Structure 1
Amino acid sequence: TQSVGKKMPGIEVRIIDPETGEECPRGTQGEVVCRGYNVMKGYYAMPEATEAAIDKDNWLHSGDLGVMDEDGYVVITGRIKDMIIRGGENIYPREIEEFLYGMDGVHDVQVVGIPSRKYGEEVAAFIINKEGYDLAPEDVRDYCRGKIAWHKVPRYIAFVKEYPMTASGKIQKFKLREKSEEYFGEVR
């Protein structure tokens, strides 16, 4: 995993628990926040947006999840808005995606949370097979079983040819969520 580096002089960087705002111990995942001369004063004529991004102590909340090691190097591990909450468990899609990239036959994978009446959200994986492979959902579940926590194993798996993209080439995960009923029917 590649680090984005250490903080610059005159800038403070912390990793905090997104729910409590408490600083996380080194090596623990949380939200990356910073303050210093590099942080904007706020959004022009948008006080609500400013209040959502910059707290009363002038910490800019990035929305990025990350881990800081003992030497102060930060690794970005995902986005808070992509986090899946399944029955009270916080699940980070990037962790599952990184795991599934190690499976033979997986060319690309995007993991999203889809609405569930029973659990709030369920884990869904949208996979593009490598050429020459014809994976089935059960192959993916078998690969996961016993290697990642049971609640992280994708309950819903779809094989797709491509992902919905922005004009600049960024994958639109929200569109995958919106299409979940089309792929999986109604989720319980």
Structure 2
Amino acid sequence: MLGYWNEPEKTAEVVDAGRWMHTGDLAVMREDGYVEIVGRIKDLIIRGGENVYPREIEEFLYAHPKIADVQVVGVAHERYGEEVLACVIPRDPADPLTLEELRVFCADRLAHYKIPSRLQLLDTFPMTVSGKVRKVELRERYTTAD
């Protein structure tokens, strides 16, 4: 890629001297040789030195019968740097998921550092005009919340 049209500053942010474009995507090479996008660098949670990919946890949590939609973000934690927060839209608002139910569901199926230590129930997620969840807003909103 040569760069963004008439935007040299933006081009300089993502295209290096070797003409490689840094997309901000996180990817892994699978055993079968395919590359799989596992998330975005800015969404990566580092909890106690362990890398946590929110998308992996979200895909796992979608299997819970009480979860209609879920977004996982990292929020500041004094000891671990970040902790895992699951923002959940319940399938049935009259029978919402509890943090204990979430932990039991995750136990023995996720590494302990990937299990959400906080749960926030929501009616909707903050969205961009293009229809993407504003994870930055979720992080900011709940970093200071108890």
1:167 alignment partner in structure 2: 129
- Residue 95 of structure 1 aligns to a residue in which SS? helix
Alpha-carbon distance in 2 for matches of 1:103, 1:139: 10
1:116 alignment partner in structure 2: 77
2:89 alignment partner in structure 1: 128
Structure 2: unaligned runs, 5 residues or longer: none
Per the normalisation by structure 2, the TM-score is 0.88
1:54 alignment partner in structure 2: 15
Bigger Rg, which one: 1
* Equivalent position amino acid for 1:164 in 2: P
- Residue 176 of structure 1 aligns to a residue in which SS? helix
Q: 2:26 aligns with which of 65, 77, 85?
A: 65
Per the normalisation by structure 1, the TM-score is 0.69
Quote the RMSD (CA, aligned, Å).
2.0
Q: Pick the structure with more helix per residue.
A: 2
Change (3 A) 1:105 1:82: same
Could you tell me the percent identity over the aligned residues? 46
Q: 1:96 aligns with which of 38, 52, 57?
A: 57
C-alpha contact (below 8 Å) 1:42/1:54 kept by paired residues: no
Alpha-carbon distance in 1 for matches of 2:19, 2:13: 11
Deviation of the 1:120 alpha carbon: 1.1
Alpha-carbon distance in 1 for matches of 2:71, 2:111: 18
Q: After the TM superposition, which residues 75-90 of structure 1 pair with which residues of structure 2 at under 5 Å, given as runs?
A: 75-90=36-51
